[in-house]
Structure 1
Amino acid sequence: MADMDDDELLAALGVEIPAPKASSRTPREERIIAGFEDILRFHQAHGRAPVHGQGRDIFERLYAVRLEQLRKLPEARTLLAELDSHGLLSGAAPAAGMDEDSLLAALGVADDSADQDDITMLRHVRSSTAKRAAGEIADRTPCADFERFRPGFEQAERELKTGIRKTLRFGRDTSIADGNYFIIGGQLAYVAEVGGSIKAPNGASDARLRLIYANGTESNLLRRSLQRALYKDSTGRRLSDPDTGPLFGAMSEPDDIESGFVYVLRSLSRHPFVAEHRELIHKIGVTGGKMETRIAGAEKDATYLSAEVEVVATYKLHNLNRTRLENIFHRLFGAAQLDLTIEDRLGHPVKPREWFLVPLHVIDEAVRRIQDESITEVVYDPQSARFLARP
């Protein structure tokens, strides 16, 4: 029996195939619908219509202009009536601002549309690939605890204005760690958390970020997605760490202590991960008081992994600035920070800081380098567990 093609086989089985319906939409109508669908997705993500404003995300400003144009198109309400369940087209028009072409020009986005004469045509409707790329940056949700981060953004902006921080072109240093600030898509962004290591489809290591933006939104980008976006964004920048200033000096400052200790603790927790890596996991801190007082009741404190601890090293220092010294350790070993969440006494999840996957001999070297001020010449490589010369 001769082989039948798919259509013949379905016909023999009595299955009718409906003929594909030809689209009755004109190319112009298709563009209008596609443009409005972008606005609907924004409304679904943020619970409101897009609005103008210098502090707004680039795409929100574009969508606000587009919505304003749609409200002026006579045929838009009829064409989009079934889609406009939120009444976006009947709302008050946004405050006057640049039209979409002017805004794109100001942002450096060229218009390659072949039809330049129709001023009411909705151009710049992006391809699915472009939408996915934009979604890596623009798909955000409101940050419920933004007030925790607001002071940090305000301080970072002050430090930029005074020169304490600088903006660096992304590329030479591609690392992304807790506490980093970036400028992406015209917005200041803060890496609040780097999640546990996961495998990307190509087998490379990746991690999910909690990225907070200065406009009160957040996203959970993958680390590699943020790196790609920063590479592609001609205005993308990394904010340098603030100049810590001299660690030891003759002039007293409010956070200085006449003498004190850098201490290194090891946890006696029975948590499986801690137990397996006990010789590698250390807490680094600074105190001006007695160590016995500092660690009393550690088993009741989530800061100490809710377990007893042992002191494995102390380094007595004089005339030191506590905040600067702790910041140095956090930045130095940030890439090796312990990624572990435990519950406190009330059952609330807590992610302790100041615990690092760093060998004790490396901490010894770090203290020596801080004392002789050569710490600025090296970076810590968690893969080889040693210091490397700064590039």
Structure 2
Amino acid sequence: MSDFDLDELAGELADFAPAKKKEAAYTAREERIIAGFEDIERFYEEHGRSPRHGEGRDIFERLYAVRLDRLRAQEDCRELLAGFDKHGLLTGGDAAVPDEEALDDDDLMAELAGLGEGDDITQLRHVRSAEEKRAAEEVANREKCQDFAQFKPLFDQVERDIADGTRSTRPFVKDAGFLKADITRGQFFVLGGQFAYVAELGEPFKAPNGEVDARLRVIYSNGTESNLLLRSLQRALYKDEAGRRVTEPEAGPLFADKAEEGEIETGTIYVLRSRSDHPLVAEHRQVIHKIGVTSGSVETRIAGAEKSATYLLAGVDVVATYKVYGVNCQKLETLIHKVFAAAQIELAIPDRFGHVVKPREWFLVPVQVIDEAVERIRDRSILNYSYDPATGRLSRQE
């Protein structure tokens, strides 16, 4: 077909092209109303019903219920949203029926009144449900941490890390992507002016509202601890205007900030912590680490750890990773193990077939010393150092 024929065909088809839809121009207030109604629509699609009132319900469902009541009551809002109401929510087909135990909605509506100023419905300042009050009381119910000496070096190190820029702190807010799933064992937070360390994370369970929760053991830098629910810690961090999440150490890549042209990424140094209930591991869990180097994915390397004697027949937590460029992974791993040879621990456990296995690569050494060793690998000074268990430090060999 010639170019002329193609042009003719394009002209013919143009006559049948649908007219371009005129884009609607909304005021800032109208955009907020539409966005707020879309939240309610998403709730309906997730739960199969409109949001309802009631103190036993999630605080945000109750706020959505009040918002829906207000939208239904205002004619201009109904007209604006008519084209967006896919489920007939504005006609009251699935009414937000109040429960007898519903909290006074005047307080909720007062909170919603600020939406016209650009506030987000999830940023509550004054409204506290009974559930939130119980959570606050639980957070405040702290007791003395009897084994705080075990955790104090971790708090000292995180302070140094923040001071020298190895770590940073970020606001714990929903629009930054920090959800309850992000609260995991080994993380640090700032809550009520104190560092909070998640030392233990219990088995997950389903709460009465259908969401997954878990029991935590949280240690605070003032020497106290609390046994609270994951969701309670999450709510406390959201509520605390100064609540922050402490990032993981930014160790950076090894030997270079990035691979040189034509050089591929060689692998990763990984530091693991075991969840084993072996008496020795349980007693010194915070300072027993497996150190290795892999040329593949760390996730792949530790897959099925609970079935491998190498990993003590238990799951593991990844404490730290460091990218490696242009080095021999096997030789690097041998070098690291040589540096920490004096801290290597002897463990003997039966495998699945009853055979006694002695896993290697497990060392009784604090993670901050491993960080220092990586730094010395980076500047090539590691060859002059080895780990001294008596002092808990790397010592220079004369």
Whether the TM-score (by the shorter chain) exceeds 0.5 is no
Give the number of the structure whose residues are more often helix, by fraction: 2
Q: TM-score range by the shorter chain?
A: 0.3 to 0.5
